[in-house]
A and B are shown apart, each in its own frame.
Chain A
């Protein structure tokens, strides 16, 4: 048990990829759908694209999501493993009941971060 946490997570990611491939999970939003989304986003939040999302240090698809919930304090943390690192954000109880649940049900999770802190999440569901 001398493996580092990073090695464990890398193994987990490799195994997850194998599982996805074996299950024949289709690529989500490939091609025109993604392009159409980029165009539509300009209409929905143009300013945010210039300041918020564009200013994020990085973004990527999360392979894992966690919700930490302390029963003895107000600590609630949403975690996402993306870009080979864990990114996090302290959240509220209302967000645990809201976005955290949505994250858990999503079939894909895209995240944006700055300095290790999550700044934006996108939850996908494909039918």
Chain B
């Protein structure tokens, strides 16, 4: 890696020479030492990914020999039937992303990139509510999932979410994680995972599939090579023009723009860096084919469960208090107990009917029963 620091003037000159379309500036990271800048990364690529980096020459300085294969992955705009632009920060005027966060001087980008994508997916797919307040614990995912400030990988983060889920930020605040650097999470975290235990995840390098996943599911997670000039990014469509490889980073991808030939991404370096969106800095756009996004890493697509659902009940319960008006109908379906407070008339009506049924199908919204179908064979 090139350890030599680069000045803003050098970057500006390189942008002009290359005809790049991004603006450099002094940022909250640009004035840091290289060591401090590198501590804001934290993706540890697999051996296979490192081999691809070497094969494509992404670890070589600008002007070095790089493979020309990258452009072959790019789809023809309009060829997929997908919109030419998609941005989860503004879908028909609605913002589905969660705020820019700051990983500080810990290589926790994988936890931040993964959580940023998951939080948005939960708003979009699970709760179908852009105003839903969701703040999940990056510290729990990282320190309880097997990662550390030295770095991690998206495969491990996604597997942890699939097997365990992740609790809310208050359960294990990031500030506490930075102090302890170990799994000092709350004792009842397993009852606070809500819908974060993901059913499945997948990775693809197929650009058309990535765009379809972005539109039809939600934000994705990706890895990228980070070069020194990236720390001075303040807006526009980034492409590497100057400086050596600083390391590897994980971010959430929230959209794409075929006209400007770029991905739209959410970073975790706070609001003193990057492009502004609605007055909030911390975002960036990066040119298709840059930094190994499509060729080396691809994108990780997580599926989430819907809060609304339906299914056959394996148990029905009727709770009846003989000292108060509490009457509750319960159904165990979709691996959870769902319930509804009912009246005495409903005990005599639907509850009795359910007890006589041979099978019962129920609909729910989160834990509340919304509909029932009783079968008799």
**Residues in chain A within 8 A of chain B (CB atoms):** 28-29, 33, 36-37, 39-40, 43-45, 48, 52, 78, 89, 91, 94-95, 97-99, 101-102, 105-106, 117-127
Contact = CB atoms under 8 A, between A and B. Distances in A.
Nearest to A92: B344
A118 B354 contact: no
9 contacts: A28-B315, A36-B336, A36-B337, A37-B330, A37-B337, A52-B323, A94-B348, A102-B351, A126-B314
B328 A101 contact: no
A41 B184 CA distance: 28
Nearest to B314: A127
A48 B348 contact: no
Contacts of B318: 99, 102, 106, 122-123
A90 B311 CA distance: 37
Nearest to B323: A119
A98 B348 contact: yes
A102 B347 contact: yes
A91 B110 CA distance: 61
A99 to B, nearest CB: 5
B315 A123 contact: no
Contacts of B330: 37, 40
B356 interface: yes
A2 B347 CA distance: 42
Contacts of B354: 125
A122 B313 contact: no
Contact of B319 (A118, A122, A127): A122
A121 B322 contact: yes
B161 to A, nearest CB: 20
A119 B352 CA distance: 20
A75 to B, nearest CB: 16
B67 interface: no
Nearest to B341: A44
A117 B347 CA distance: 21
Contacts of A52: 321, 323-324
A108 B352 CA distance: 14
B191 interface: yes
A78 to B, nearest CB: 8
Interface in B287-344: 312-324, 326, 328, 330, 332, 336-337, 339, 341, 344
Interface of B: 191, 312-324, 326, 328, 330, 332, 336-337, 339, 341, 344-345, 347-348, 351-352, 354-356, 358-360, 367
B352 A33 contact: no
Contacts of A43: 367
Contacts of B321: 48, 52, 119-120
A106 B312 CA distance: 18
**Residue of A101, A102, A120 most packed against chain B (CB within 10 A):** A102
Contact of A127 (B315, B320, B339, B352): B315
Contacts of B348: 94, 97-99, 101
Contacts of A119: 321-323
A83 B332 CA distance: 27
For the complex of A and B, list the 6 residue pairs with the smallest distance between their C-beta atoms, beginning with the closest. A105-B355, A98-B348, A40-B337, A98-B347, A125-B316, A123-B318
Contacts of B341: 44
**Residue of A33, A39, A123 most packed against chain B (CB within 10 A):** A123
Contacts of A98: 344-345, 347-348, 351-352
Given A37-B317, A44-B328, A98-B347, 7 more contacts: A48-B321, A48-B324, A94-B348, A99-B348, A102-B351, A123-B317, A127-B313
A102 B322 contact: no
Nearest to A118: B322
Given A98-B344, A98-B347, A127-B313, A105 B356 contact: yes
B134 to A, nearest CB: 19
Contacts of A39: 191
B120 to A, nearest CB: 26
Given A95-B344, A99-B347, A120-B320, A40 B367 contact: yes
A60 B322 CA distance: 16
A119 to B, nearest CB: 5
Contacts of B312: 127
Contact of A44 (B324, B339, B344, B355): B339
A33 B341 CA distance: 20
Contacts of A28: 315
